[in-house]
Structures are given as C-alpha cells and as structure tokens.
C-alpha cells in the first residue's frame, strides 16, 4: 500500500536529490514489475543515458565483488558519484545470495555518494534485459555518473549483461574460469576488458597469454577495439588503477567511434521489444472470453483449430 509520500512523483523527486530510501523504493518497483513502473520510467526519461554503464561479470568466486569494491573506491577518489547494481539472474528474491556482497561493500556503506542496490531478475517479466536498464535509470536520476552492474556468470547471463553495458569487464582467475571456459561461455566475443584476477595465484600469466591468443582468433562485435587483458589482485587493490584507466580509454573509444550510440540504440531496441512482449504476455494471460489464450488452447487440444490460426486470432 503506497502512502501519499510514496507517490511516484514524490519518489522521483526525492531520488533526484539522492535520497537512498527513494532510490531503493523505485528499484523495488522495477524488481516487482509494479503497475506504477510506467509512470516512474516516464518521469525518469529525461536523465536517462547520463551515466557510463560498466558491466562486470565472471564465474562464481572469481573476485567480482572485491573488484567492484576496489573500483568504487578508485572512482570515488576521482570524485565521481557511483551506483552499484548487483544483479542476481538466478534468484527470484533479492537478499540471500547477495548478502555477502553487502558485507564486502561495507567500506562504502556510509558514503552518500555511493548507492548500492541488489536486484533479483528471475521471474521478472522480460528478465535481466528489461529490469537492468530500468534500475540504471533510477541510479542515473540520483546523479550517479558511473553505474557498475555486477552479475554472476551463470548460463547465458554473461553474454546478456554485455548487451546492457557500455563497457563490459569479464573476470577470470587461474583455475576457476580459464580461457577455455571463457570460450565455452561465449564471453570471448563480448568483453571490452578482460581481467585475470587472483594474479597472486600461480598460472595467471598463462591464462592471460591463452586469453590473448584466443581473443585474437575470435570474431568480435567491435572490430575497432582490441580488448586489453589485465592482471589484478583485487583483494590488495593491485592493478585497479590500470583497470580504471582502461575503462576511460574504452569510453573515449566508444564516443569517438560512434559505437556508444550504436550500442545504446541496439539496447533501446531490445528493451522496447522486451517490454512490448511482456505487456502482450500479461494481456493474453489475464484475458477472458472466446478469443482468450485459455479458450483457444482448448480448441487446439480438441483439434478444432491449429496453433497458427489460434495465434492469428489472439493477435487480432
Ligand atoms: N588471493 C586472492 N583472493 C582474492 C582476490 N580477489 C578476491 N579474492 C578472494 O576471493 C573470494 C571471492 O571473492 P568475491 O569478490 O566474493 O568473488 P565473487 O566473484 O563476487 O563471488 P560470487 O559473488 O560468489 O560469485 C574472497 O574470499 C576474496 O577475498 C585476489 O586477487 N587474490
Ligand atoms: Mg559477488
């Protein structure tokens, strides 16, 4: 039940002032696919696209949260206001799996210029593809100049997250998640920057060599950018300044090459499509009467019509 002070215009105006509670409430609307969401997104449109969106992905335990925390510290030193979105693509509830991340991020917990939210995306209509950009818009409205989207790499999500970011960082580590596994996960095509983390462990230089050679043999989406492969020890902050510098170089490349506009238009296309499909799904699922999904499926089972004719009637 929303109190008057929680009306969409109120939430948006307080989020614009950077109020963490309003930011959290708006991201909850996204997570729940709330009926208030269209109004909230309309109000947030004008500040959309302001932040540089950095995606960070990699297999479980590779050091994503540790790296995120170190990157946030580096961006804060540079005076930037930072948003962090920890997306769990496999869980229908937020909390749980991401609790540990909140603890690891605790060094930033009291910083008013760091907004950290976790979000579950399973069960969301449209999944990651619609939830993530909408949550990013909330953080942009709150003045974040860079938004870090951290996702654990399970199944398709690593490749999916790359479609949602301006710059995609792929993390690997010796042993857990080597170059061959990266190839299997399809991330050789999509990373803009590769980090071999846990470089204090044996084999990091080998993983880097292997990665470089495999990347050079891969057909990539942006041929004008040669992705750097950097070594990091995130737990000691080593190599993190180099990562920040490489992200800056990539951002400059995106701007001067026109790739930023191309990526963002492609993203908007996919987002509109995903939203439209989710609206149709909901309408069909909730529909009643002769032309409803329920009625038509009974006719298909009875052999009185076929799926194509039924679909045509549904679309009418
Ligand atoms: N030796 C070493 N340990 C590290 C390094 N970076 C992170 N770790 C440790 O590795 C463990 C996992 O790090 P996280 O940052 O939680 O990894 P994650 O990828 O976020 O893990 P999930 O969220 O569970 O997928 C922690 O105990 C870290 O302290 C590193 O560079 N060297
Ligand atoms: Mg983590």
Q: Per residue in 142-163, pLDDT tens?
A: 999 999 999 876 556 666 776 7
Separation of CA 63 and ligand 1 centre (Å): 3
- Report whether pLDDT(275) > 70: yes
CA of 249 to the centre of ligand 2 (A): 26
Q: Please state the atom number of ligand 1 nearest to the C-alpha of residue 61.
A: 21
For ligand 1, mutation pick of 63, 67, 97, 174 (most atoms within 8 Å of CB): 63
| pLDDT for position 97 | 41
Q: Is 233 near ligand 1, meaning CB less than 6 Å away?
A: yes
Q: What are the C-alpha distances in Å from 8 to residues 38, 130, 143, 151, 312?
A: 10, 19, 18, 28, 37
129-133 contact pairs (CB < 8 A, 24+)? 129/160, 129/163, 129/164, 129/270, 129/271, 129/274, 130/271, 130/274, 130/275, 130/278, 131/30, 131/31, 131/87, 132/85, 132/87, 132/161, 132/164, 133/164, 133/267, 133/271
Residue 98 confidence class, pLDDT cut points 50, 70, 90: very low
Q: Which of 14-28, 249-263, 278-292 has the lowest mean pLDDT?
A: 278-292
Predicted pLDDT at 217: 87
Out of 61, 148, 150, 199, give the residue to mutate to test ligand 1, the one with the largest number of ligand atoms within 8 Å of its CB. 61
Atom of ligand 1 nearest to the CA of 100: 16
Mean pLDDT over each residue of the chain, to the nearest integer = 87
pLDDT over 90 (residue 32): no
Q: What is the mean pLDDT of residues 306-312?
A: 97
Please say if the pLDDT value at position 239 is more than 60. Answer: yes
Confidence band (pLDDT; 50, 70, 90) for 254? very high
Does 63 contact ligand 1 (Cβ within 6 A)? yes
Hey, which of 62, 66, 118 would you mutate to test ligand 1's pocket, going by the most ligand atoms within 8 Å of its Cβ?
A: 66
Could you tell me if 167 and 182 are in contact, meaning their C-beta atoms sit under 8 angstroms apart? no
For residue 308, what pLDDT band results from cuts at 50, 70 and 90?
A: very high
- Pairwise pLDDT comparison (141 vs 283), residue with the higher score: 141
Residue with CA at minimum distance from ligand 1 atom 10: 63
- Interval between CA 68 and ligand 1 midpoint (Å): 10
Predicted pLDDT of residue 94: 47
The residue contributing the CA closest to ligand 1 atom 13 is 63
The top-scoring range by mean pLDDT among 159-173, 207-221, 279-293, 301-315 is 301-315
Q: What is the pLDDT of residues 176-235, one digit of tens each?
A: 656 677 777 678 888 999 999 999 999 999 999 999 998 988 888 788 999 999 999 999
């Amino acid at each position: 039940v929303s109190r008057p002070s929680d009306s969409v215009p109120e939430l948006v105006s307080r989020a614009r002032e950077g109020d963490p509670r309003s930011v959290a409430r708006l991201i909850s609307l996204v997570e729940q696919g709330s009926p208030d969401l269209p109004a909230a997104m309309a109000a947030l449109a004008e500040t959309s696209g302001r932040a540089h969106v950095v995606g960070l992905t990699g297999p479980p335990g590779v050091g994503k949260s540790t790296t995120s925390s170190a990157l946030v510290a580096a961006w804060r030193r540079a005076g930037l206001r930072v948003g962090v979105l920890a997306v769990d693509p496999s869980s229908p509830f937020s909390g749980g799996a991401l609790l540990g991340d909140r603890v690891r991020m605790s060094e930033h917990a009291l910083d008013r210029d760091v907004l950290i939210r976790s979000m579950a995306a399973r069960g969301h209509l449209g999944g990651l593809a619609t939830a993530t950009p909408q949550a990013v818009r909330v953080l942009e409205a709150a003045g974040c100049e860079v938004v870090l989207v951290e996702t654990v790499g399970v199944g398709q999500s690593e490749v999916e997250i790359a479609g949602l970011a301006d710059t995609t960082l792929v993390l690997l580590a010796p042993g857990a998640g080597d170059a061959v596994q990266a190839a299997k996960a399809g991330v050789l095509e999509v990373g803009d920057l590769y980090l071999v983390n846990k470089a204090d462990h044996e084999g990091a230089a080998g993983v880097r060599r292997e990665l470089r050679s495999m990347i050079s043999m891969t057909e990539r989406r942006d041929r004008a950018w040669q992705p750097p492969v950097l070594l990091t020890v995130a737990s000691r902050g080593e190599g993190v300044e180099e990562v920040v510098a490489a992200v800056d170089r990539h951002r400059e490349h995106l701007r001067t090459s026109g790739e930023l506009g191309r990526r963002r238009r492609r993203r908007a296309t996919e987002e509109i499509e995903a939203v439209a499909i989710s609206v149709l799904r909901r309408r069909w699922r909730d529909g009643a009467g002769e032309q409803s999904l329920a009625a038509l499926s009974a006719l298909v089972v009875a052999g009185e019509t076929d799926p194509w004719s039924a679909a045509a009637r549904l679309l009418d």
